[in-house]
Amino acid sequence: MLDYLLAEKNFATLKQYVNFLNELPDALREINRFSDSIARAGHTLLRPPDAQTLIQAGLTNAQCWRAIGITVPVLGNTSARVLQEVSGFISEFKTVVSVTQNRRLPISRIDPQQFTVVKSVGWGNAPCADVIDVMRELDARLEHCQQSVAKFKAQVTTLAESIHGLFVRFIESLSLPLCSCDGPIPKIEAYYTLGRIGLPGMGYNPNQGYSEDQRLEMAKAHIGRLFNLYRQASTAANNLGDFCYRWAYMVEEAKRTLRTSHPHQTMARAKASLPLLTGSLEEVKTMSEQLVQMAKVL
């Protein structure tokens, strides 16, 4: 399993990005006041950052991050339970179909009541008239896991879209000139030196007595840090998206194997298909365990 897809740093970076947008409104209000004062002085300003869109994105992403914090542990624990049920069934099923004298018999002859999952409290009123019923129910539970993964991916996609479509434009706008009538001074340098405006999360207090050179140096350093945050957040969102795709793909492989079974299939043929199912489940099991662990640090 490619552990980097669900590395803790992916979540840490996205949290940093969400926090930055969430803490940005105060700076945006100062930017608007500063821009208005410059415009009143007769300068022709280039378009400042879109404050309303950024503020709305901050609210949306904060809500999305809270949802991810709920989804991850639920998904991890639900998936772990289903995978335990499926893996336990497969282990017991393998023992049954491995009996030499039964190899030519159809799997419809297998008594479903001998499987632990069917006798468990969690089975409830699920059908279990024959072994095919058991397989179909496990298939449905894997499908439920897939739907939960799709929900998680949708939440990650919401963050990814704002990173690519909004955040990068905000950063790039800070690198553009403040106005069209003076020299090509980037907005962020003007904000730091003239407007005494600082960006959140940078450890910078615009009210301290920095020299102009220090402010210029900080402005350049901070725009670099924002571009770095953009690159890291984009990578993090892509990694988590790839994680969801891989998870859904492996679950689909397991479901496909379960669905190939039919009442007249011989036990020998059923035994031959088990390695395919076992391999898919083992990888998804690892993914599930990773999510359970990740939920502890969110």
With beta carbons less than 8 A apart as the criterion, state whether 222 and 199 touch: yes
What percent of the chain stands above pLDDT 90?
Answer: 59
Instruction: Give the closest residue to 114 by CA, choosing from 138, 131, 135.
Output: 131
Distance CA 35, CA 11 (A): 35
Which of 29-43, 239-253, 283-297 comes out lowest in average pLDDT? 283-297
Strands annotated E in the chain: none
Strands annotated E in 67-142: none
Q: 3-class SS at 213?
A: helix
pLDDT band at 250 (very low <50, low <70, confident <90, very high): confident
With 90 as the cut, is the pLDDT of residue 184 above it? Answer: no
Q: What is the pLDDT of residue 257?
A: 83
The average pLDDT across 66-89 equals: 90
What predicted TM-score, i.e. pTM, was given to this entire model? 0.86
Which of 35-49, 109-123, 142-156, 212-226 comes out lowest in average pLDDT? 35-49
With beta carbons less than 8 A apart as the criterion, state whether 284 and 79 touch: yes
> What digits encode the pLDDT tens for the residues 99-127?
989 899 999 999 999 999 999 999 999 99
- Which value, in Å, is the radius of gyration of the alpha carbons in the chain? 28
Measured between alpha carbons, how far is residue 266 from residues 7, 94, 134, 273, 275 in Å? Answer: 43, 13, 17, 11, 16
Domain count, the chain: 1
Structural domain boundaries enclosing 181: 3-295
Q: What is the pLDDT of residue 187?
A: 92
Q: What is the pLDDT of residue 179?
A: 83
Q: What is the pLDDT of residue 178?
A: 86
> What digits encode the pLDDT tens for the residues 23-70?
999 999 999 999 999 888 888 888 888 899 999 999 999 999 999 999
